[in-house]
């Protein structure tokens, strides 16, 4: 494999774009030059210190991989602190949000994918 076959999309904190809908800064993986869009979505996400993401729920399945910082995760009525190394599965249809704790941004990798129609209907 030659070096021109390696595709890298680099980002830095200043490259993240504010997404008002979720009250976060994010850099979405797609579009990605030379790569077909897959059946899933993803983004690097940052929550500013003492800020909270907009509470929301959705039918997509979602996983968060905490890269740095600390946060308070709320899913439904349950709360738990998260930090570097934590992997979180977000249950479809459950309202959730994250609050950045401490002096640093909470940074995580976010990935989501659709639930097949048969699972939505209870057949899966």
Residue 34 lies in a domain: no
Q: Is residue 20 part of a domain?
A: no
Domain extent, residue 113, equals 60-68+106-124
- Residue among 16, 123, 119, 12 nearest 59 (CA): 119
> Is residue 117 a part of any domain in this protein?
yes
Query: The tokens of 65 are what?
Result: 């991989």
Give pLDDT, residue 32.
Answer: 81
Looking at the 3D structure of the chain, how many domains does it have? 1
Q: Is residue 120, in this structure, part of any structural domain at all?
A: yes
Determine, yes or no, domain membership for 2: no
pLDDT digits 0-9 by tens, 36-73? 888 888 999 999 999 999 999 999 999 999 999 999 99
In a domain, 42, yes or no: no
SS (H, E, C) 2-52: CHHHCCCCCCCHHHCEEECCCCEEEEECCCECCECCCCEEEEEEEECCCCE
Model's pTM, two decimal places? 0.85
């Amino acid at each position: 494999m030659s070096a021109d076959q390696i595709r890298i999309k680099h980002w830095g904190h200043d490259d993240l774009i504010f997404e008002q809908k979720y009250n976060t800064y994010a850099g979405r993986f797609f579009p990605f030059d030379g790569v077909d869009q897959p059946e899933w979505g993803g983004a690097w996400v940052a929550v500013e210190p003492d800020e909270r993401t907009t509470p929301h729920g959705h039918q997509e399945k979602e996983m968060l991989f905490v890269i740095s910082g600390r946060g308070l995760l709320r899913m439904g009525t349950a709360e738990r602190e998260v930090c570097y190394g934590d992997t979180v599965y977000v249950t479809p249809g459950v309202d959730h949000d994250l609050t950045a704790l401490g002096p640093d941004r909470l940074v995580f990798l976010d990935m989501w994918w659709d639930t097949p129609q048969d699972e939505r209907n209870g057949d899966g």
